[in-house]
Amino acid sequence: MDNYQALADKLDQFPTGAPKTEHLLAILKTLFTEEEARIASQLPIQPFREKLSKLSEKLGMQPDRLKPVLETLCDKGLVFARAKDGEMAYALLPLMPGIFEFQFMKAGYDPKTRALARLFNDYYYDAWGRASFGFKTSFTRTIPIAQAIAPNQTVEPYRNVRNLIENSKHLAVTNCFCRHEHELLGDSCGKPKEVCMLFGPFVEHAVARGFARKASKDEMLDKLLLAEQKGLVHITDNVREKITFICNCCGCCCGFLCAINKLNIPSVVASSGFMVKLNETECDNCGACAKRCQVKALWLEDDPDRPKKKLLKTNLDRCIGCGLCISSCKKNALEMVRRPEESIVLPRASYEELGLELMKERNQRGR
């Protein structure tokens, strides 16, 4: 089998998948040399890393010849490396989250990165978006803005963004890959870029390879405040423990939110457990909240009873409970309320559990 075809098949083994299309093969040929594709197609998939010594035997290559290739793949954002029992171990990264994000974290403007932006964008709308996100189980979840929740409301620790940061040992910030991709496409929204956050084992890898920089907890909290001020949604892994990222997302560039807005896949981002409630008697229909909403859960339409006037409308099925709209309302006509308990789906306990659930759904629908 062709090495690029084999690599495409390997990438499709991840829970989020990678449907084999001409766009995907073009992406792989842009990112991998023929030899790199051959080696990558035989690597284990993250998180099941294998030591260099074992990979050397498996691939029939001397360690001193194989290691430079693997290290180059790591530097290119295609392979993950971390010590295991005192020896460096490697695994192929998924297309998402992984390979796609790493290609734009350095915010490059070179011809290759520009070409990749077009290829990834075309692939997303051609096949990748629906294949990766069209599950009942949400891959990501919303973290509500703390100030938008009334003090008498209960917020679980895993939904408290400050708690997530305060209890993390390894922290880094990086560029928003989605907004940089859209900037390369000539479609920049102008929102801040260095506001995406990494946690856990990926921090050491990303910082060592120049994809991110370490940050203090205070800086991370300041970044969160900036994101909230600029109207960005906090999104993280749909797990209760050991999150790996917090993205601060806009509805025009973010792959997750575009799946809601442009592909009509609302399940991709799980609700925070809260939703907006409108007090119609207090609302003056100014529309400020609708401008802040990143998933079109609030909007203005013509008032049938008052010519030339607008009326605020809501679609609670689209509301992801981010809380961005609350601070925009000068009339205090909006509040965040708990969703009915029967409609709240808890995040999975771990990333492993989430991956198994997504794979189960992929297999049930025949990939």
Going by their DSSP bridges, the two strands 140-143 and 196-199 should be labelled as: unpaired
CA distance to 270, 303, 320, 336, per residue, from 311 (Å):
28, 5, 21, 20
Position 103 in a domain: no
Q: What is the pTM of this model?
A: 0.93
Residues 291 and 267 in one domain: no
Q: What are phi and psi of 237, to 5 degrees?
A: -60, 150
**20 and 35 belong to one structural domain:** yes
Mean pLDDT of 54-67: 94
Contact 89, 83 (CB under 8 A): yes
Give the CA diameter of the chain.
Answer: 79
Question: What's 278's domain CATH number?
Answer: 3.30.70.3270
Contacts of residue 351, Cβ cutoff 8 Å, sequence gap at least 6: 47, 237, 239, 242, 244
State the virtual CA torsion across 352, 98, 241, 338 in degrees, nearest 10: -110
DSSP state, residue 75: H
DSSP bridge pairs for 89: 51, 82
Task: Give, as one character, the DSSP assignment of residue 240.
Answer: S
Task: List, in sequence order, every residue forming a beta bridge with 266; answer none if it has no partner.
Answer: none
Same domain, 211 and 303: no
Cα separation, 354 vs 182, in Å, equals: 29
Q: Are residues 190 and 137 in the same domain?
A: yes
- Residue 341 — φ and ψ, nearest 5°? -55, -35
Q: Please state the rounded mean pLDDT for residues 38-49.
A: 91
Chain segment 284-297, per-residue pLDDT in tens: 999 999 999 999 99
Between 101 and 85, name the one with better pLDDT.
Answer: 101
User: Quick one: 44 and 67 in the same domain?
Assistant: yes
Question: For residue 334, what are the β-bridge partners?
Answer: 278
Q: Residue 46's pLDDT is what?
A: 80
Q: Are 294 and 250 in contact (CB under 8 A)?
A: yes
Q: What's residue 258's pLDDT?
A: 95
Residues 178 and 262 sit within 8 Å (Cβ to Cβ): no
DSSP structure class, residue 136: S
The total number of structural domains that make up the chain: 3
Residue span of the structural domain in which 40 resides: 3-94
Identify whether 112 is part of a domain: no
Residue 238 Cα distances to 131, 244, 263, angstroms: 18, 10, 20
Final residue belonging to a domain, choices 94, 110, 142: 94
- Same-domain status, 211 and 280: no
Question: Is the Cα torsion angle 291, 143, 358, 27 positive or negative in sign?
Answer: positive
Phi, psi of 297 (to 5 degrees): -85, -15
* Joined tokens for residue 95: 């297309």
- Please give the structure tokens belonging to residue 309: 């006037």
Mean pLDDT confidence for 321-337: 94
Task: Kindly state whether residue 104 falls inside one of the protein's structural domains.
Answer: no
Please tell me whether residues 254 and 296 are part of one structural domain: no
Could you give the CA distance from residue 43 to residue 134 in angstroms, rounded to a whole number? 27
141 occurs within a structural domain: yes
Phi, psi of 118 (to 5 degrees): -65, -45
Residue 106 counted as domain residue: no
Q: What is the CATH number of the domain that holds 17?
A: 1.10.10.10
Q: What is the average pLDDT across 109-133?
A: 93
pLDDT exceeds cutoff 90 at 133:
no
If asked whether residues 57 and 170 sit together in one domain, one would say no
Cα separation, 171 vs 197, in Å, equals 7
Residues 255 and 170 in one domain: yes
Asked whether 314 and 282 are in contact (CB, 8 A), the reply is no
Residues 24 and 75 in one domain: yes
**Residue 302 and residue 230 in one domain:** no
Average pLDDT estimate for 298-323: 89
Residue 20 tokens read as: 């084999």
Kindly indicate the confidence band of residue 342, based on its pLDDT and cuts at 50, 70 and 90. confident
Q: In this structure, is residue 58 part of a structural domain?
A: yes
Contacts of 244 (CB under 8 A, 6+ apart): 97, 198, 199, 200, 202, 237, 351
Burial-class residue 331 by CB neighbours within 10 Å (0-12, 13-18, 19+): middle
Same domain, 61 and 200: no
**Residue 367 predicted with pLDDT over 70:** no
Residue 189 in domain? yes
Amino acid symbol at 321: G
